[in-house]
Structure 1
């Protein structure tokens, strides 16, 4: 029984973490567009985006997504235990 609950907790945690990462990316894209006037650059984009802008977008996105995943996973774990 504990194994089944553990598996359910892991699946719920994964789903919550993925949803949090998606929401964080949407929030960043909206804030970036309001601030800079366009969507944040993506690795596959070809164009005239400067390296500094690409590095800033990557650092901000990575940090916010990682933090939101940790917070969502911990929150889900607290609810399930």
Structure 2
């Protein structure tokens, strides 16, 4: 079995943080956009409200799509950072 190339620990941490931050920002953008367009926040699972099924599905699909796209861009950026980190002698490789 071929060994995977090692990724510096710093790059992994940055990738995780970037993906989490991107997901949070994307969720906030969807919430505020929904509020501006519909006059209320999108329905959530824990809400006891009387939102219709179509509104629940639309909110879930929109939120999921925006969060997924944001995480892809964050992950790609982190991968570029990892490539840079591998070639930069000033960034320590903590995988050893």
Greater C-alpha Rg: 2
The answer to which structure has the higher helix fraction is 1
Q: 1:49-68 to 2 correspondence within 5 Å? A: 49-68=51-70
Match of 1:76 in 2: 78
* C-alpha spacing 1:8/1:48, structure 2 compared with 1 (3 Å): same
Distance in 1, Cα, partners of 2:51 & 2:38: 12
Q: Which runs of 5+ in 1 are unaligned?
A: none
Residue 79 of structure 1: how far off its partner (Å): 2.5
Q: Which runs of 5+ in 2 are unaligned?
A: 84-96
Distance in 1, Cα, partners of 2:59 & 2:7: 40
Match of 2:90 in 1: none
* C-alpha spacing 1:8/1:54, structure 2 compared with 1 (3 Å): same
Match of 1:34 in 2: 36
Extract structure 1 runs of 4+ deviating beyond 4 A: none
TM-score under structure 1 length normalisation:
0.90
Please provide the CA RMSD for this pair. 1.4
